[in-house]
Structure 1
Amino acid sequence: MKKRLIQVLGFLMSSLGWVFVLCSMAMDYWRIVQLGGQGGSFIIKVAWYWSNLWKDCFTDSTAVTNCRDFPVLWSVTPYVQGVRGLLMCGLTLGFFAIVLCFLGMECTFIGGSEKTKDKLLLAGAVFHIAGSVSDVSGYCLYINRVARTTFAATVGPGVLRYTDFHH
């Protein structure tokens, strides 16, 4: 009974983590910066620039949002392409891990003998670990890029800072 409980809890936690990664890929506000409003009222003239892995958007003070989808794979900046690739690789590995773990759990009646189920469970665990390393690497790559832009002493033309500590 204890072995089944551990397997079910592990399966639920790892599957929930996979769902969270899937949801984070669809989130809109990966980066956001406020434009305008300096030296005056933030209400009268302010705009927001925000982006995610799939598009860049601009929302003005009248709440009109204009978005530009990233057109083709090779026109996206390399770090965004790397983040997309790492997260998709992690999701693919996680999907196979969920299937293998489901088949290998003791409480399911499919998957074969006990020895075969143990091998399936071990393979699923390895896939989960590899997928989670890929996901964490993708998030770290993205955060590193945003942090370098944010804390750089000078930034090039056309590069937006995502926080302003110089007031």
Structure 2
Amino acid sequence: MSVAVETFGFFSSALGLLMLGVTLANSYWRVSTVHGNVITTNTIFENLWYSCATDSLGVSNCWDFPSMLALSGYIQACRALMITAILLGSLGLLLGMVGLRCTNVGNVDLPRKAKIAAIAGALHILAGTCGMVAISWYANNITSDFFNPQYVGTKYELGPALYLGWSASLLSLLGGICLCSACCCAAKENQPIRIQLPYKASSVVVPPNTSEEGDSSFGKYGKNAYV
């Protein structure tokens, strides 16, 4: 059963890592809202790297953010967190290939495989946490600007990339937890069972010395018996 849980955790974390990469490259992190606009001439959508505008004819024009230092602090932090999540997930995926009990990479013994898989699970948990923090932080800034009546800039709504990122983070967390739990169960199963038998002192039986008995038999009779 633990092997199935371990395999499920590995594939869940691998799918989560793939979805995190798709989320980072997705253009629709936030989309301009049509709430309160009578006539909408264009739609603006942005991610962590660039901003795009689509006119009424469906033509899109994109431009990169001019300077990283000119960006808001939360965008820089979200960039760092997402890149860290992908790096941690990639490292966890490589270690998971070695640590799975159904694979044979490097002829690693089972106790060491359990430790490697547990480390891989911890890395996936960290990756999912970083992704969850980055996406939730980005979404919080969108909602705070949207419901702020004093905000005069362009208001945005949550884009589909955020929902994809939340799902990816949950898959990474679930996969990491399954890997860690399966490895803990496997470590308990692989422990050698020591059966303590009751101690009993060994008895040594000394065989009778026939030669001595034969020699001592002469002393049982008197001298006249041999005449």
1:5: which partner in 2? Answer: 4
8 A Cα contact 2:95 2:117, kept in partner: yes
Residues 85 and 128 in structure 2, CA contact (< 8 A), matched pair in contact too: yes
Identity %: 27
Of 90, 94, 103, the residue aligned with 1:95 is 90
Question: How far 1:134 moved relative to its partner?
Answer: 0.7
| Distance in structure 1 (CA, Å) of the matches to 2:3 and 2:60 | 50
Aligned to 2:116: 120
Q: Structure 1: which 5+ runs fail to align?
A: none
Flag the 1:32–1:87 CA change in 2: closer, same or farther, 3 A: same
Other structure's SS at 1:73 match: coil
Find 1:136's aligned residue among 125, 132, 135. 132
Residues 1:60 and 2:65 are matched in the alignment: no
What is the RMSD of the two structures over their aligned residues, measured on CA atoms? 2.0
Which of 155, 161, 167 is the aligned partner of 1:161?
Answer: 155
| 1:146 alignment counterpart | 142
Structure scoring higher RCO (CA < 8 A, sep ≥ 6) equals 2
Tell me what 1:22 maps to. Answer: 21
The answer for the alignment partner of 1:105 in structure 2 is 100
Q: Map Cα deviations across residues 130-150 of structure 1 (whole Å, 9 max, x no partner).
A: 111111000111011101111
- Structure 2 Cα separation of the partners of residues 36 and 129 of structure 1: 38
**Structure 2, unaligned runs of 5 or more:** 158-227
In structure 2, distance between residues paired with 1:135 and 1:117:
27
In the superposition, relative to structure 1, how do residues 37 and 125 fare at CA in structure 2: closer, same or farther (>3 Å)? closer
Deviations 1:22-49 (CA, angstroms, capped at 9, x unpaired): 101111111111569944xx5xx62111
Q: Which amino acid aligns with 2:79?
A: R
SS of residue in 1 equivalent to 2:130: helix
The higher radius of gyration belongs to 2
Per the alignment, do residues 47 and 109 of structure 1 end up closer, same or farther by CA in structure 2, a change over 3 Å counting?
same
How many residue pairs are counted as aligned between the two chains?
A: 156
- Distance in 1 (alpha carbons) for counterparts of 2:71 and 2:37: 31
Q: 47-56 or 59-68: which moved more? A: 59-68
| TM, length-normalised to structure 2 | 0.64
Residue identity matched to 2:146: T
